[in-house]
Amino acid sequence: MSKTNKEPDNTGKVKTKYDLKMEKRRKEREKEERIKKWMRIGSIAVLVCLIVLVAASAGTGIYKKQKYFNSTYVKIGNYDLTQLEYDYYFNSTANNYISTYSYLLSYMGLDASKDYADQVYSGEMTWKDFFDQMTVARIKEVKALKDDAAKTGFTFDEAAEYQTFQENLSQAAAAAGESEGQYYKNLYGEYATAENMEGFVKDNLLASAYYQKLMEDRTPSQEEIDAYYEENKMNYDTVDYRSFTFQRADITENSEEADRTAAVEEFQKSAEEFQSRLEAGEDFNALCIEYAADEETKAKYEDTANDASLTQDVNYERAYYVYSTWLFDEARTEKEITVVPDVANGRCYVLQFEERKKDIETVNNSISDTLSNKAAGEYVASLTEGYEVTDVAGELKYLVLQAQAAAAQTENGTEENADSVQEETASGESDETAQAGTEETTAE
């Protein structure tokens, strides 16, 4: 009799191998079903989590945008500014500054393509802090001008000015190969549009127009203009003169001092000979050709279409510092000649004074603008004194630096203005660039 492995189940029935095999398969199927069920539940849970995360992210984005548009970012005087409005002023201020001083940015250490907050302006102050300070000053002026204009009943053709602004911006966008929408964002911030910028732009245009009115009301008299001119002649007069430079390619400002000195002594002998021949009546250009150090220099003076030795209409600021004082000395007379050594650069110059000139109309207009702008600026400064700044969002670090500077000055017993925490820029920030009315030029 063959043996068959059998075991009874709970019912007392004896299970065969076949029964056990089928039971095993059933249990495996149940196990697989449980796994699939838990995988479905897990997938649903993951999906729910993802939905929650996306919703949270969207909610954060919506909250951020709502805050950007509706929450007070900074309070200036009685004005609660949102970040949208603040960014308009910040970006236009920074853009105008960068446009004005683009040729100096590398010397200033500013890379306009990088975050201003990551670049040091001076000491603990970053370029963002610097632009924040300029921005707040500008906003104070715009708001003060707007309020004062309302008090005095000032009006101007707002529609025409705004249309001109829009036309200028459209032309600038087309020139840049961008849509107007994108151009607004590039200029004023990620949420900027023509619609939500309109009010800010119009405030700026109003401030500009009113500031021009303040200047017109403060136009100086001719006596004031003449008195100012007498004190600042060198800033307005120009001179014409002839010059020739004795130099060698191997002698520069980087050469050893002994070599530079020896070269200048050698050049001075030739320069004095050049001077003697001029005083004897010889032609300046002819002598330049004769004393030219190389064929290229000689060809420059032989070019009859261009009088290479003559320099015209140079003001004191543009004249070379080595001989500018001599040129603008009021004792100078027509055809007066001198030799000027320049040891620092290893050169020697022969100069012949031609004439000193004053363009009366240009000078009078320039001085009038300077004096009226100064007077208007002083008036606006007095208006802004009552416009206190409250850093609601806590993003204006320069205010903290000012407070620290003020505290340090108090400890030291000094009375210096805390607002001077930053150094003057290479451009020497003037009232002209500070006035909000003159800065709305970005789109032009």
- Give pLDDT tens digits for 195-230: 999 999 999 999 999 999 999 999 999 999 999 999
- Residue with more model confidence, 252 or 140: 140
Which two tokens mark 315? Answer: 């003001």
- Residue with more model confidence, 158 or 414: 158
The per-residue pLDDT for range 121-157, each reduced to its tens digit, is 999 999 999 999 999 999 999 999 999 999 999 999 9
Q: How does residue 411 score in pLDDT terms, banded at 50, 70 and 90?
A: confident
Average pLDDT (158-187) is 95
Q: How does residue 409 score in pLDDT terms, banded at 50, 70 and 90?
A: confident
Angle at 333 between CA 308 and CA 362, to 5 degrees: 70
Q: What is the pLDDT of residue 154?
A: 97
Taking only Cα atoms into account, the Rg of the chain, rounded to an integer number of angstroms, comes to 38
Residue 336 has pLDDT above 60, yes or no: yes
Q: Are strands 125-126 and 120-122 parallel, antiparallel or unpaired?
A: antiparallel
Cα–Cα distance measured from residue 373 to residue 375, given in angstroms and rounded to the nearest whole number: 5
The per-residue pLDDT for range 47-72, each reduced to its tens digit, is 444 444 444 454 556 667 788 899 99
Phi/psi of residue 67, nearest 5 degrees: -65, -40
Average pLDDT (320-331) is 96
Q: What is the pLDDT of residue 58?
A: 45
What are residue 246's DSSP bridge partners? 348
349 within 8 A of 358, measured Cβ to Cβ: no
Q: Measured between alpha carbons, how far is residue 137 from residues 84, 199, 214, 381, 435 in Å?
A: 17, 19, 19, 10, 9
Mean pLDDT in the chain?
A: 86
pTM of the predicted protein model:
0.72
Helices (H), 71-126: 83-100, 105-108
Q: What is the pLDDT of residue 48?
A: 47
Which two tokens mark 328? Answer: 């603008």
Interacting residues of 358 by C-beta distance below 8 A, sequence separation 6+: 236, 237, 238
Q: How does residue 6 score in pLDDT terms, banded at 50, 70 and 90?
A: very low
Q: What is the pLDDT of residue 252?
A: 87
- Residue with more model confidence, 64 or 324: 324
